Homo-oligomer: A and B are copies of this chain.
Amino acid sequence: MLTLTTFRSVPEFAIGYVRDLRVRWALEEAGLPYTVRALEFQEAATPAYRREQPFSQIPVLRDGDLTLFESGAILLHLGEQHPALMPTDAAARARVTAWMFAALNSVEPYLANLVNLEVFCAGEPWTAGARPAAEAMVHKRLRDLDDWLDGRQWLEDDFSVADILMTSVLRLVDSMKMVEGYPRVTAYRDRCMARPAFRKALADQVAHFTREPVAA
């Protein structure tokens, strides 16, 4: 029995981008049914929830007696049990974990930093000074990724949870149209997003958040 925790509602601009999406996507790829637990935003800071998620974030996945936080760890846990998500060969699996950590530690921080400047700190006068170096780092990572994808369909031989994480990370800068400057990265992201499991997961997230009143 799998239970995915996400917020009950989020600001409208976040719908389609909330981090439960990557878990929903993996669950769809593996064909695993699950239920959703909707957390009120104020509940995230309670001691009870912080025993599940020490940083008051979502998602959390409950799998029987196991309560797991961090989307990377949740995807690794699912991947270890489902060949649709990760190869069974130990060396191939290790390579997939390298790309999981790369998505979350070598790519996401730079993209998230730029989103922070452009979206969350928009209009603050200091962001103009911060922007050139922040943009340059994003371009460096996208260029490196574009080179890696030369001749490849996925990050490694087969589609895996690493592709789910990398696509989720690349989508952070959707509104800035930066990925579009890198043809192989663009084609790769679009190839991942064309998968029926992604479309289903996205539709389910949108339905979850639009069914509920949206936070002010």
| Interface residues in chain A, defined as those with a beta carbon under 8 Å from any beta carbon in chain B | 50, 54-57, 65-66, 68-73, 76-77, 91, 94-95, 97-102, 104-106, 108-109, 112-113, 121, 124-130, 133, 141, 144-145, 147-148
Contacts and interface: CB of A to CB of B under 8 A. Distances in A.
A108 B70 CA distance: 14
B97 A77 contact: yes
Given A50-B147, A130-B130, A133-B121, A106 B57 contact: yes
26 contacts: A50-B144, A50-B148, A54-B145, A54-B148, A55-B102, A55-B106, A57-B106, A68-B95, A69-B98, A70-B106, A72-B105, A76-B94, A77-B97, A101-B104, A104-B105, A105-B105, A105-B108, A108-B109, A109-B109, A109-B112, A113-B113, A121-B130, A126-B126, A126-B128, A126-B129, A127-B130
Given A68-B94, A76-B97, A129-B129, 14 more contacts: A54-B102, A54-B148, A55-B102, A68-B98, A70-B97, A72-B105, A73-B100, A73-B101, A109-B112, A124-B129, A125-B129, A126-B127, A126-B128, A126-B130
B55 A101 contact: no
A133 B147 CA distance: 35
Chain A at the B interface: SS class: helix
A127 B73 CA distance: 34
B141 A55 contact: yes
Contacts of A56: 144
A126 B72 CA distance: 33
A104 to B, nearest CB: 4
A59 to B, nearest CB: 12
Nearest to A129: B126
A101 B72 contact: yes
Contacts of A65: 91
A141 to B, nearest CB: 7
B55 A73 contact: no
